[in-house]
Structure 1
Amino acid sequence: MFQSKSRGVKIQSRSAHYFAKLTIIKSNTMKFSIAALTLLTNTAKARLFFRHDNTNEKQEVDVQRNTQTTACYDGKNIRFTVADGDCSEDEFLEGLQAALDSKNNCDNDASTELDLLTDGGTEAALANITALCETFLDSIDQVDIYESLTGDLKNERALEEYFDGGTTINEERQYTDDEGTETWVAADDYSKVNTFYNNYAQDSVVNYPSDMKNFAECEIRAAYCCWAADRQANDNNGNCEEPYDDACVDADPGDNTDVCYVDMANAPTSARVAGGYAIFNDDVEGDIHCHGFAWGNDETSASAVYKGNNLFYVSLYDHFYQRGYVRNVP
């Protein structure tokens, strides 16, 4: 499934000046992007007294120095990576704490260390990190899922019909016509799904179609896709085989789910009836394959930001394009 991004964070401190660089590092899914944060703290003005060797006269000299000298990383670089997490203050502090835990002769926790490095500017530093994360998320390119399709399918209405179990994606299967030409070859007809995965889905935010009836007002923050047929041979998934006209007429996906009950009134468009229900006793539903995903409460978390990417990957790329799984549960 789609992987969340990793982030590298670098802190450079020089005396009373604190510089932080929040770096978004490319992992399996994200472009390399850098957002620089500079926090210049107010350098403390200290009073230094000294005596000349040949006089008892005491002279006062104003100097600029950092009055806090107990930061473990004062004047040093800190580098750490937070993997599979969110771009947030908490993740930043977690990474800093891990770096401190691995350092000898250092008893500071992350909050104390950051406070010392910034001369008490922790609140401002964390606020800037939050602002950086928000700016980064807003800067990522966005794309709609239906851009992965072509022709009559390249629109929101056709995409909704696909999620309801319709369109040629669900209704057709490969066969050999009278002239010996292979027709409805999924890997060829829908090759743009693969192109979209390689060129967009791993580097951009795929918009989640929350205005579609299938996904609107989702309070439980989870989506679940189920398939009842297999239309593609030679992919080590399902039991569709060649020749298609003989061994893939009513092929099944890999079975990982038992369907017990379906209330048609909950999804009248997908069920094609306004109401009623179906009960499946003793596995009479046949082989069914389902796969779901969920996201968190925080809309800036990776799971929430990239839920559209997960929807594309689960529904169109992994299960349809790679495995050939189609058709909805009746």
Structure 2
Amino acid sequence: MPNLQSVLDEIAHDMASASERGAVARYIPELAKVDPARFGLAVLTEDGTLHTAGDADEPFSIQSVSKVFTLTLALGQVGDILWNRVGREPSGNPFNSIVQLEYEHGIPRNPLINAGALVVTDVLLSGYKPREAIGLILSFMRGLADDDSVFIDEKVARSEEETGFGNRALANYMKAFGNIRHAVEWTTGVYFHQCAIAMSCRQLAVAASFLAGEGKHLLTGNRIVSRERARRINAVMLTCGHYDGSGDFAFRVGIPGKSGVGGGIMAVVPGKASIAVWSPGLNKVGNSLLGSLALERLAKAMDWSIFAP
């Protein structure tokens, strides 16, 4: 088996010199300011050893990666009743598409596209005011990262508030079907703030570790979810975690993962490792271009595909 740190160093070196880096997300003004030359990678293995390379300690906006954690919280809050309001199938459409909602009567295809994540956020609001729900999500993230320095980037949150017309449209459309049950401004406000959570690759790899450890956190040993729930969340990530690029990611990389338009990708190798990679430039479907390539190389070098014999 190759030396993991050597593999990470080689990948980071090659990615730093790559000429084609994708394009940063420009529809959120604060994200448009991020330097596309940045690249970070972190891997936490099952024995609790953390390996890093590149800009692994630089905080970035995790954006849609947050959807996995709010899904985990919502399932803990209401259990499988959640699936009455959101599906579990790949969308085959862009992450912000409104098209399927009309045909499917306001039920989003899965919880990892924007419409589905808005429903999950709406579930989390039950019994809470928006500020309390935001605090709940941030506290959960800090606990999973084992690091109280995880924060919400208020500039990014404000930038999302000012430009989030599409997400408000999704929420309003679902409210017309009764699938958003709180005020649209409450639900979208919490959603914008969860997407604005800033974390480093190191923190994100640690936070994701419970999904690699069959529900148990690889560092603290705490059980976060049951084994069955961890497997189901991983299944949703594998089939839906990269929007309409999910099939290609499963084909090329072969592990569950979730991307965000901030350029981050969180991935897990069940029983072996949790991974976070960050490169701000995106490919044509909104996933980190170099992050995807780095994960493909890492999975191949370490023989980490879940489809490996």
Instruction: Using structure 1 for the length normalisation, give the TM-score.
Output: 0.21
Instruction: Say which one has the larger Rg.
Output: 1
Does 1 or 2 have the higher relative contact order (CA < 8 Å, sep 6+)? 2
Structure richer in helix, relative to its length: 2
Structure richer in strand, relative to its length: 1
